Structure 1
Amino acid sequence: MRWKNTFLWNGKPLYYNRIDQNNLAERSVEIPIAFMFLAQLEKRQNLLEIGNVLSNYENALSDYLGLRSRRIIDKFEVALGVENIDLMELPSAEKFDAIVCISTVEHVGQGYAGHAEDHDFEAPLKAIAKIYDLLEPAGKALVTVPFGKLLDGGWYIQFSQDYLNLLTSTYGIPAPAISTSYFQRIATELVELNPRQLWLQTQPEAMAETDYGWVYPYGNGLAVIELTKQVEPFKLTLDVPATPLTYHKPISETLSRDAFDQIYGVFKNLRSLNLIVFPDWSASEAEIQSALSPIIEAVMAHPDRAEVALLIDTTAIAEEDAGLLISSLLMELLAEQASEVTEEPGISLTGKLKPFQWQVLRLQLHARLKLSCESEEAIAQAQADHLAIVSLEQFRHQRITQLDTGMWTLQESRKD
């Protein structure tokens, strides 16, 4: 896969963070977002950072913008220039022009880093209300949190939209004061250190089932919350009854290593543009070969074949049997095109995936190629009926193009 150096935040291209300090997941996008937020501030004389994060990524730009003089508080981390203070104990009389808080509030009240605390599911919301209370009139704050399905991870809370809405309905932050953007991690390089990543700004509804630690380690969804202090008086009220919401456990805590290995095995075969077919394995071998042969031939002959992967669903057949049939087809086609094929065909089998594995694989799929004999049952089981459908003729006349978001798509070839 060809990775992109930039992502879009509200239409603005920003460079992904590539400093390898703890850069395994959401740091890739939240660091550049945080620095852009600070750089655009009109007033930055009185800055507060909650959680010692940005000091690991600073350079001469911080000196130029006057950011190093900010006050940094962190309840637990002992470091030069960091005050070990609990955010919730800061006097409300203290006010700040701007506050930045990167992936920190989700740990408030959750026993983070092995420190015993009373488990308060809504403590992260109370922390955000406290941040709002600490702002000067017209002051601004930026807070990032993991987002998707509402999770109790023990040492963190992953926010959902219903949970986030409590900032207004329960904790009294005016709705006009809150602006939120949402990011989903679409792809990650399968390496242990500083992987390249693809994050896409999206809508919260698209992330309702996004988990933490699945399919990629750590955060797979992110909410970027911007606060602007309104002129109307705000009374910080934290002693309120908890709202009855359902907090799930991260699916990663229940999965075996095999479940991860299986889906990563599929991911290793993915390329920039990933297509899928769902053969009807109950048809005769001749019918299946007749349906698959022109598809595989078209993929092998496509001008962008080095960037195209074709996945073949094998839910309803033993992978060994499917492998023999596909290998036979490939051998015939390779023999016919021996002088033309220079790259290894990007063709692979899905294996028997479970629904939670299909859920994450669907994010990687761009379209379904229409077969003359295909399994509607398999399509329904994979919940792949929402995928764009591309005919063989369309595919032959389309080229793949990378969008500004970093995603890839098929577009009609330009005719000179």
Structure 2
Amino acid sequence: MLIKIIKLFLRKLNKIFNVTVNYRKVFNLPLRNINGRWFVTGRSFELPFVFNNIDFNGVNKRILEFGCFKSYLAIELATIGYDVTGIDLRDYSFKHPNLRIFKINILNYMDEEKFDYITSISTIEHIGLGYYDQNEKGTDLNKVCEKLVSLLKDGGKLIFTVPVGMRYQDHFLRSFTRDEVINLFKGHLELVKETYFRRYQNYQYWIRCDRNDIKQVSNDREDCGPFGVNGIGCYVWKKK
């Protein structure tokens, strides 16, 4: 059923924008088929986590999606009424009257108007590594986190997902320990919610797990399946 819904959504996008696209190149989808075998991706729970923690009526509210490339979240948020700002180092494929895209390093974003929500899906783990843009290499992760805090309204929420488990880093991403994630925003924001997921059954599915379980998860590339990571944390923080 989920596959049919996704295909219908993408067909409608094709009609709206009058283009033919390779969906995997344009969007990160909740399901992937590899050699005839279906795998559930992190998007299957990351995007529902966002919608479960925002107001579904976005009219007169501002939201920033940090890391919007290959995400249909920006379009969905704009559709339900949010004034959406997307920031990424790469171009975004689609347009909407409620959507503005800035192709910049977030540290160079200078709009002083604050946001009700900031979302960031599997983006923070790539900051400063230069994988997507060599000019971004060396960007200070702590400064980016401070920037996100500064862009929130008082009472606003930061909602993000990152790989969580044992500490790991390669040229592409970082895997954070839970304590490392908490320390990124501790003292600046109040932690409202944390939820964890890990892969199981030959990497094909995901299940919820608790803090103790996630500590044992390895996101080392050699321990992962055909794509992605093995453990993900989903967080909601609120500006005091």
TM norm. shorter chain > 0.5: yes
**Equivalent pair of 1:140/1:228 in contact (CA under 8 Å):** yes
Shift of 1:111: 0.8
The corresponding residue for 2:49 is 33
| Aligned counterpart, 2:89 | 75
Matched, 1:222 2:235: no
Q: Is the 8 A contact 1:132 1:227 kept in 2?
A: no
- Among candidates 157, 161, 165, match of residue 148 of structure 1: 165
Q: Distance in 1 between matches of 2:48 and 2:4?
A: 6
Within 2, Cα distance between the matches of 1:60 and 1:152? 32
- The structure in which a higher percent of residues are strand is 2
Instruction: Give TM-score scaled by structure 1 length.
Output: 0.42
Paired with 2:193 and 2:230, the residues of 1 have a C-alpha distance of 17
1:66 paired with 2:81, answer yes
Is 2:74–2:84's contact at 8 Å kept on the other side of the alignment? no
Show the 5 A alignment for 1:306-345.
none
Deviation sequence 1:299-325 (CA, Å, 0-9, x none): xxxxxxxxxxxxxxxxxxxxxxxxxxx
How do residues 268-307 of structure 1 correspond to structure 2 at under 5 angstroms?
Answer: none
- Where does structure 1 lack aligned partners over 5 or more consecutive residues? 6-14, 231-416
CA RMSD of aligned residues (A): 3.3
Deviations 1:151-177 (A, max 9, x none): 1122222111231232256xx424xx1
Deviation at 1:38, TM superposition (A): 3.0
2:192 corresponds to which letter in structure 1?
S
Structure-2 change in CA distance of 1:44 and 1:163 (3 Å): farther
Amino acid at match of 1:220: N
Report what 1:209 is aligned to: 216
Listed as ranges, the gaps of 5+ residues in structure 2 are 7-23, 33-40, 96-100
Q: Which has the larger radius of gyration?
A: 1
Equivalent residue for 1:48, pick from 64, 70, 73? 64
Question: Which residue matches 2:114?
Answer: 95
TM-score, normalising length: structure 2: 0.69
1:17–1:32 contact (8 Å) kept in structure 2: no
Instruction: State the SS of the aligned residue for 1:136.
Output: strand
Identity of aligned residues (%): 24
Counterpart of 2:103, as a letter, is N
How far has the Cα of 1:55 moved from its partner?
A: 4.8
Q: Does 1:165 align with 2:182?
A: yes
Equivalent residue letter for 1:66: G
CA distance in 2, matches of 1:16, 1:101: 24
Give the SS at the match of 1:33: helix
Instruction: Tell me how far apart the structure 2 counterparts of residues 189 and 106 of structure 1 sit (CA, whole Å).
Output: 24
Give me the whole-angstrom Cα distance separating, in 2, the residues matched to 1:173 and 1:45.
Answer: 22
SS of the counterpart of 2:53?
Answer: helix
Q: Which has the higher contact order (CA 8 A, sep 6+)?
A: 2
Cα 1:74–1:43, aligned 2, differ >3 Å: closer, same or farther? Answer: same
Aligned partners of 1:60, 1:73: CA distance in 2, in Å?
Answer: 16
Counterparts of 2:234 and 2:206, CA distance in 1: 17
How far, CA to CA, are the matches of 2:196 and 2:5 in structure 1? Answer: 18
DSSP 3-state at the match of 2:119: strand
In structure 1, distance between residues paired with 2:126 and 2:67: 10
The more displaced of 25-34 and 180-189 is: 180-189
1:115 paired to 2:134: yes
Partner SS state of residue 54, structure 2? helix
How far the C-alpha of 1:137 sits from its partner, in A, is: 0.9
How far apart are residue 79 of structure 1 and its match?
3.0
Residues 208/62 of structure 1: CA separation in 2 closer, same or farther (3 Å cut): same
Instruction: Name the SS for the 1:76 alignment partner.
Output: coil
Q: How does 1:190-209 map to 2 (within 5 A)?
A: 197-203=205-211, 205-209=212-216
Query: Is the 8 Å Cα contact of residues 69 and 91 (structure 2) preserved in structure 1?
Result: no
Figure out how many residues of one structure are paired with residues of the other and give that number: 203
CA change 1:223–1:180 in 2 (3 A) is farther
Alpha-carbon distance between aligned partners in 1 of 2:111 and 2:76, rounded to the nearest angstrom: 33
Instruction: Give the whole-Å Cα distance in 2 for the aligned partners of 1:147 and 1:222.
Output: 5
Contact 1:49 1:100 in 2 (8 A): yes
Supply the distance in 1 between the matched residues of 2:106 and 2:127 (Cα, whole angstroms).
9
Question: Of the candidates 181, 200, 218, which is equivalent to residue 187 of structure 1?
Answer: 200
